A and B are shown apart, each in its own frame.
Chain A
């Protein structure tokens, strides 16, 4: 279904939160869930799309359990998945540092950090299984940082007052991904997992209201194929590249989740986007992406700007009394470790006041000079050496000698497909895990929690919950891909590709993505307003129409055609962008990464409106013409264990 047609399915939201006190819900669930007999597991086929942390850990675990798993990735190898770029760490409540951590504290910090817009039951489960993730990864040989006695080392991260973050130098995501990829490789060798590389999912096949398979395009040959299974799992990451400039890898996109949305999966909280405070500021127009510097630097780095907007001295010559360590000044108890949304908004404020630094006055200083003096260069090198090196390559400045410059950038998307407690979307049989779902981070994600959620879902949640859906399907076969259900969607995918190739306009998809990104950054970025969002909606619609009449894609479908693959993704970004603006407009409150200028405290902090907006906004796709048609469904959020209160990091 593309333009013109209308959907008439009406979705119902049932979060399926188990009975009982919060600490017993997951245990209760596992006891009451339907199990699949180990001998029968091989009779079930499961498709997993995406092979990052969530996808590969799920594939490895489901393979071990005995299911017949097929994995699809658009990369040439799963090790390229963008999880690999995560730098800082992964949280768990081991309390190895003896500083008062507990499952409840991680749960509490996460709910509070997410500005009370996440589901308590999911977050508590995440905090519970986090410890097992560290055990699993250590056993896999992840070279986590160690103390001299051989035990694991920890550090702290933004939004927390305890040291609960485990890390492998500045390459934690890389090491965790290699661990889950290797575990999956073991299952590939064992014949339990079949891996398809350079294959992109272009649509979801739904039959009788259930997800029964996917349509893929082989990126090397253009071949369009249907694949059927008893269940489909999407683990395709976030959609931050809708902004064009983001910290995401170039190929990260929304296509799989967006097309599932078009087929009936509700899209939840699309406007919740995390703007990460410690990225290297944009240098010029041609720039293709923004590079993140791990926020662990905020443990030892002090953030400041000159007090005088007309300051011209180089940073090292500006004396203490002329510097404004604005985070330490405004938030004495958390200081430089305030959560990401707070740090980002404060940096923007400094720059809006004209106190930005660097050639474009678009950054603030992240200064490790004091730490280098206190701890010695060697220790700093040990902790952050690779980050410093990366910074120097990009900016041509040596951060051991001059303070780094940072600025916020689009990073992680808390929104995603709506899922219930079992991680199942509103389409039965379609599961969504990791960043692709919406469930655990609320309106803002705490540092070191993304890796935790990806692996929690893959290793310890989905493998239990998927059985509940599969058990009653015993004796059924996956659908025939030659049947009408599949061939109809296949035809639509082909038409869609033909449309992209036949526009024959004058501008590339990349150009359109950049222009779309500019609209989003200005109006659906760190600050949103009624007027700005209304204007953005019209601008997005107008640019989308230009995209459909002025796009230029050369070549054919039947070849390795990177521009064609990209154009399809940009098409989806346009529709998603419109929904993001709609969602942001509808939520007339500030929370976490969503800051409505009309709703702030006297001190300029995000002001929630719990009376009216304490819900998950789940959007149902109805159709698209000049405007996108979406129906809003609300899942009310209840906070039984973490009392709703104004977040304060003072």
Chain B
């Protein structure tokens, strides 16, 4: 099949960007979208033109490194699928495909389709962990976890941190990512001691970089792991409770 790409090109964070039209002949429908871009880049390089910069790594839909807005959808048209798992069979011969980087103020463009997603790490650093020193843990079966709790925690923990939720949100909010991380730990018995400080610290950190959630639900639609927005409700509830609970007298202070 033949397609026409309209690709966002931008030399660096400060440089002006533009769309460039690249006709691509002889695309196999079995190619993944990124393999198609690989072929485009090989062809461009051989002609002496700079290849299109894009991020990808595992190409198995798990590392969260890839992320391209395709025809207006983060990760493209297929539900619950990361860009690297999207195949050209989802497109038609003769299609024009618009290819853009994640669009969010918190994610400045590095080059072409590559963005800087480091604010997501700042949210984790604020409290997205359970404090336990290596070697000091009790036998694993001393902490009983009801299967439904473990399953629900795993549903949240499946987040791959790609940032599609932010890119899809009209407000550039990171509620789905943050809620997934908060819920994963707050749903488990092990997460209880730091439950209230965790949610408060992470949400507060998130708000330093990202926009507000106004319940559009676009994040869930764009999420390659179909993480549910129910977790946002859980996070909000915990946040409100934390605001009430986080008093010095109960032994948990906000750092």
Contacts and interface: CB of A to CB of B under 8 A. Distances in A.
A390 interface: yes
Interface in B80-136: 80-81, 85, 87, 89, 110-111, 114, 116-118, 120-121, 124-135
Contacts, number: 211
B147 A459 contact: no
Contacts of B125: 185-186, 188-189
Contacts of A393: 61, 81, 85, 87
B204 interface: no
Nearest to B26: A286
A210 to B, nearest CB: 27
B190 A396 contact: no
Given A60-B134, A560-B114, A171 B62 contact: yes
Contact of A146 (B58, B116, B145): B145
Q: Is the interface of B mostly helix, strand, loop or mixed?
A: loop
A511 B42 contact: yes
A380 B51 CA distance: 43
Residue of B35, B45, B128 with most partner-chain A CB within 10 A: B45
B137 to A, nearest CB: 4
Nearest to A86: B62
A77 interface: yes
Contacts of A146: 145-147, 150
Contact of A186 (B80, B129, B135): B129
B74 interface: no
Interface string B40-65: 00100110111101011111111111
B60 A291 contact: yes
Given A80-B64, A171-B158, A506-B46, A182 B85 contact: no
B14 interface: no
Interface of A: 57, 60-61, 64, 75-77, 79-82, 84-85, 94, 96, 132, 134-141, 143-152, 168-169, 171, 174-175, 178, 181-183, 185-186, 188-189, 197, 220, 249-251, 283-284, 286-289, 291-292, 389-390, 393-394, 396, 459-460, 463, 506-508, 510-511, 552, 554-555, 559-560, 562-563
Nearest to B144: A150
B50 A84 contact: no
Contact of A291 (B59, B64, B118, B140): B59
B228 to A, nearest CB: 15
Contacts of A139: 130, 132, 137-138, 140, 143, 190
B200 to A, nearest CB: 14
Contacts of B160: 174
A64 B138 CA distance: 18
Contacts of A560: 12, 53, 110-111, 114
Contact of A141 (B39, B58, B151, B190): B190
Given A85-B62, A182-B124, A135 B138 contact: yes
Interface string B1-45: 000000000011000000000000000101110110011001001
Nearest to A252: B57
